[in-house]
Chains A and B, each alone.
Chain A
Amino acid sequence: MAKTHYESVVVLTPVLSEKMLQDAVSSFEKLITENGGELIHKENWGLTKMAYPIQKKTTGFYQIFEFAAEADAQIVDKLELAYRRDEQVLRYLCIKLDKHAIKYNERRRNGEFKKAKLVDNTSTAPIAEAKVATITSEEEE
């Protein structure tokens, strides 16, 4: 059976220390890989200002995972359960990616949209970070 691609965005509280953030992220990563998911890409936006306050907090750590898994693996259920149990998570979003989205994300990772969105000052830094992340993941392979 063909694997389905998913994308997950988590907003974590800004009160976390660097180490706690790393721990939280790695625990979610572990959950994905242990449940038969294949982590394709991860991205950290760092401390980002939110459009409206959530639990009286105006900023949050944004973390994005893209992973592939069997469609009936229930990995998303498990991941969402973990998000809901974790008090550090302010918001989460898990979506299934269609074929256009997969292509788009690949292009985004390769930094193709850097020039097209010069107006977009906030996303230039994350894209740069994303590039670093992809380079490191390639090294691991």
Chain B
Amino acid sequence: MAKRQKYTRVPVIRPKKYCRFKKSGIKYIDYKNPDFLMAFINEQGKLLPRRITGTSLKYQRKVAVAVKRCRHIALLPYVADQMK
């Protein structure tokens, strides 16, 4: 019987995440533009974590505020089943 091969973890090479606001120099996130904010929420309308979008902490806070304002003026839903 063949000897069982030792398991070695193969590293997955992913492109490095970056903060899109830092990269493109966006200083202000407009809450009146729901189509742009769609990039930061999932299908249920929940905010996506930083580890998925790669946004830096400073801008994640601003994204959160913008999404909440956008929801308040009914341009984004608070809850949704399938929005994408």
With both chains docked as a complex, state the minimum distance between the C-beta of B24 and any C-beta of chain A, in angstroms.
Answer: 10
| In contact, B32 and A122 (Cβ under 8 angstroms) | no
Main secondary structure of the interface of A (DSSP, over half): strand
B residues less than 8 Å from A101 (CB atoms): 28
Q: How far is the CA of A101 from the CA of B35 in the complex (A)?
A: 18
Q: Which of B36, B74, B80 is close to A91, meaning CB atoms less than 8 Å apart?
A: B74
Q: Complex formed: what's the CA distance from A91 to B35 in Å? A: 20
Q: Is the CB of B28 within 8 A of A91?
A: no
Contact partner, A11, options B28, B30, B73, Cβ 8 Å: B73
Task: Kindly state whether residue B27 has any CB partner on chain A within 8 Å.
Answer: yes
User: How far does the alpha carbon of A11 sit from the alpha carbon of B74 in the complex, in Å?
Assistant: 9
Contact residues in B for A73 (Cβ distance below 8 Å): none
CA distance in complex: A52, B72 (Å): 10
Contact: B74 with A119, CB < 8 Å? Answer: no
Nearest Cβ on chain B to A4's Cβ, whole angstroms: 16
Question: Which among B33, B72, B74, B76 has the highest number of chain A CB atoms within 10 Å?
Answer: B74
Residues on A with beta carbons closer than 8 Å to the beta carbon of B77: 51-52
Closest 9 pairs (CB-CB, A-B): A100-B27, A50-B74, A100-B28, A104-B28, A51-B77, A120-B35, A101-B28, A52-B77, A9-B73
Residues of B within 8 A of A (CB): 27-28, 30, 32-36, 69, 71-78, 80
